[in-house]
Amino acid sequence: MNTSMPNAEPIAVKSATIKIIGVGNAGISIVDQAVSKSLPGVSFAAINSDAASVGASAATEKISLEIKSARGRGGGDLLASRAAAEEHLLKLKDLCAGTDVVFIVAGLGGAAGSGISPVLARAAREAGALVLAFVTLPFPCEGNHRQQQAALGLDELKAAADGIICLPNERMLKLIDENTRVVDTFKATTELLVGGVSSVWRLIAHKGLIEIHFADLCALLRDRHGESAFATAEAAGPTRSREVTEKLFAHPMLDGGRVLPESDAVLVSLVGGPDLTMAEVNRVMEQITAQCGRAQVIMGAAIDESFAERLSVTLVAARREEEAEAATPAADSARAPEGLSEQLLNRAPSARPRSRCVPPPPVLSPEKLEQLAKQQGGRGRKTGPKMRQGQLSLEIFSKGRFDKSEPTIHKGEDLDVPTYIRRGMALN
């Protein structure tokens, strides 16, 4: 029995307007690769404090936020990058005006990505767009300064964006071997994020037989302000439904599958060719929903002629901010330490120390003094028993090589006995 979906036609692009904005050197690199993917209906923009990198970008819209102290050559000061973005807030709003969905792609840790991205997210939301951020976190070897800047940028981005898809670069170590070059490692990270951006774009922009509406995505992410995880996998051949789920659960973004049980909403999009069967769709969804526990699952499926004999699955798992923090207490260790001003503002008031000044004794009348004397009965202070110095009766088993020597006797006293004992001297 043929269970193929009938009358499959190529999917059509929906009317949602999408803009992908790269921030900083890493974000611009991701945008440039996304431009080469030729995503229909998507516009691209580049923002950086380094005028040279903005000018060399393939994006059609470019904004250089010059930091005065750096003279257009970029800068490593997060606060300066944030201040430059705040000064051009209206320009950032104009960039996002009339856009339904804004993708912000950046590498957190650098000053531009960590400082500009949260301001851009706030500007895009004020312009009425749904804001999704795709960001990377530094490798541990990049140093604690970049780790701290990334943590600050991530916290501020959570407060400004609707959803964050975060890729800790450390997870990429699971996908490479010891011979992988540094350049190839960062290239793999970029390609992974480009794949995530393309998959979510396909999910939003394409009509399907079982359609995920734009309103569903908004309801999934709007005002959650938490981290979302995405994963995408593809397989071909007669066992594609089994292979695609195995690849999906092994995806580094799902952290060995532990992300799904902790999520409260999961969105799944399947794309296959005209030969995609309903049995394959059921088989994939059964395995995913079995891992999702209490999560609300939203599924969409579409047919694309270019996916003949292939099956692609994209998954977005979201959880609210308070749940994300409860599930990952170790993330607090990556937070940057409080500055001096925050420490002073947040410090609990300490108890006032006691005064060292001793007040003078009260002046008593002769009658009062006589009364106190009668109450004490003329008794003075009690003294404890006098301590006596003694010699412990310890049995000496051996004196070593002096065991057979005679004691030293002088004027009737054994000089081998310590003087303080012979003379009854108290050491206390």
Per-residue tens of pLDDT for the chain, all 428 residues: 444 444 444 444 456 789 999 999 999 999 998 898 878 889 999 999 888 889 889 899 999 987 765 454 455 678 889 999 999 999 999 999 999 889 999 999 888 999 999 999 999 999 999 898 889 888 888 888 888 888 899 989 988 888 888 887 777 777 677 777 888 888 888 888 888 788 778 777 766 677 776 677 766 666 554 567 778 889 999 999 999 999 988 887 787 777 888 888 888 889 898 899 999 999 999 999 998 877 888 888 888 888 888 999 988 887 765 554 554 433 344 444 444 334 333 444 444 444 444 455 555 666 766 676 666 555 545 555 555 555 555 555 455 566 666 777 777 777 777 776 777 776 65
CB 314 within 8 A of CB 199: yes
Does residue 302 lie in a domain region? yes
Contact call for residues 115 and 78 (beta carbons, < 8 A): yes
| Residue at 350 is within a domain | no
Are both 170 and 308 inside the same structural domain? no
The predicted structure's pLDDT at residue 356:
43
pLDDT at res. 338? 43
| C-alpha torsion 85→86→91→95, nearest 10 | 60
pLDDT at 390: 53
The answer on 158 and 84 residing in a single domain is yes
The pLDDT assigned to 388 comes to 55
- Gyration radius (Cα) of the chain, Å: 37
Same domain for 96 and 197, yes or no, is yes
* Same domain assignment for residues 143 and 256: no
Place of tokens 């300064």: 145
Evaluate whether residue 272 is within a structural domain: yes
Whether residues 279 and 136 fall in one domain: no
Check residue 178 and give its pLDDT. 76
| Same domain? 42 vs 112 | yes
The predicted pLDDT at position 195 comes to: 80
Number of domains comprising the chain:
2
At residue 411, the pLDDT reads 73
**Cα–Cα–Cα angle for 213, 216, 218, nearest 5°?**
115
CATH code for the domain in which residue 77 is found: 3.40.50.1440
Residue 289 inside a domain? The answer is yes
Do 200 and 234 fall into the same domain? Answer: no
* Residue 282 within a domain: yes
Spatial distance between the Cα atoms of 81 and 49, rounded to a whole number of angstroms: 7
Shared-domain flag, residues 165 and 297: no
Final residue before a domain boundary, out of 295, 312, 328: 328
Cα torsion at 409, 410, 416, 419 (round to 10°)? 150
Same domain, 23 and 140: yes
How is residue 210 annotated by DSSP? B
The answer to whether residues 192 and 248 belong to one domain is no
Number of neighbours of residue 361 by Cβ within 10 angstroms = 6
328, 345, 377 — which closes off a domain?
A: 328
Exposure string for 194-211, b = 16+ CB within 10 A, e = fewer: bbbbbbbbbbbbbebbee
**Do 182 and 314 fall within a single domain?**
no
**405 domain residue, yes or no:** no
In terms of domains, do 131 and 272 share one? no
Q: Residue 118 domain-assigned?
A: yes
Structural domain including 297 reads: 229-328
Domain annotation covers residue 365: no
Answer with the one of 328, 350, 381 that is the final residue of a domain. Answer: 328
CATH number at residue 243: 3.30.1330.20
